[in-house]
Amino acid sequence: MQLRLATPADAEAIASVLSKAFVQYERLYTAEGFTATVPRPEQIERRMNEGPVWVAVDDGSVVGTASVVLKGEGLYVRGMAVDPMARGKSIGRKLLDCAEAFAAQNNCKYLFLSTTPFLERAIKLYEDYGFHRTPEGPDNLFGTPLFTMTKVVSQTPGASS
């Protein structure tokens, strides 16, 4: 498995990974919330202009992705997903390592993300990685419930703080 920065040529594969990862939860999202969670390839290409997007590639196929945006003293992690067929290989943790290393290089004090209460496996990953729930918003994505999690940036990515 290889981690690398995504290119516009990866946008279709990234959209596919996001769709595969979230489709089983679609009924728990509002229609608008699901559409925002599973962006189209052209939206993913636009995200590449806002901050880095990484992909995890296994046997020539994109099996995971995460993107980030610098926001003040923090780094916002978004669009993170692992293909259900590739789960259990620490891909999510390795993608978070990429985000945290980028945050450290850019002197960010913390990482933050928003997630839905029903993504239990993702929440466990985030908590195991050192993220903690905060009262800050947003509290919904087009009517789908959300909560925010933060993690102090470590000088050693992957270390819980």
**How many CA atoms, within 13 angstroms, populate the side-chain half-sphere of residue 111?**
32
The yes-or-no verdict on residue 161 having pLDDT over 50 is: no
For 112-125, the pLDDT digits (tens) are: 999 999 999 999 99
The yes-or-no verdict on residue 149 having pLDDT over 50 is: yes
- The residue among 114 and 139 whose pLDDT is bigger is 114
* Whole-prediction pTM: 0.91
SS3 state of residue 156: coil
The token pair that represents 45 in the structure block: 């290409």
CATH no. of 2-152:
3.40.630.30
Runs of H (alpha helix) within 78-150: 91-105, 120-129
For the chain, what are the domain ranges?
2-152
For 42-57, the pLDDT digits (tens) are: 999 999 999 999 999 9
What is the separation of C-alpha 97 from the centre of its chain, rounded to a whole number of angstroms?
11
